[in-house]
Amino acid sequence: GEDVEQSLFLSVREGDSSVINCTYTDSSSTYLYWYKQEPGAGLQLLTYIFSNMDMKQDQRLTVLLNKKDKHLSLRIADTQTGDSAIYFCAEMQDTGANNLFFGTGTRLTVIP
């Protein structure tokens, strides 16, 4: 079955860069996503990358994909206190159903 893993916690100081890592097992993944969940709220799509890309940059966010190692990372530059949240990576497989399989989530804490 699908297996998407993330480390559970990450703490960084305000202004530093944060790197959140994700590994997945299914090689048929087509799109990979990063979502942000603030306390008590739903999910907000941050960015996504197609599986034939290896990097995507969007303002403070940089996504790196190593398809050979099935490793995805999200780098947040100049991390702010408002970035404190849980970050989920998710993969969509080429099965036609188009549902997402989520990682366990990484709780990012930004220290002022």
CB-based burial label for 79 (10 Å; 0-12, 13-18, 19+): buried
Contact indicator for 21, 6 with CB cutoff of 8 Å: yes
Q: Note whether 85 binds another protein by CB under 8 A.
A: no
Q: Note whether 95 binds another protein by CB under 8 A.
A: no
Q: Which of 108, 112, 92 is nearest to 37 (CA)?
A: 108
Q: Note whether 103 binds another protein by CB under 8 A.
A: yes
Pattern of binders to another protein over 30-69, x per CB under 8 A? xx-x-x----xxxxxx--x-x-------------------
Binding site for another protein (CB under 8 A): 30-31, 33, 35, 40-45, 48, 50, 88, 92, 97-105
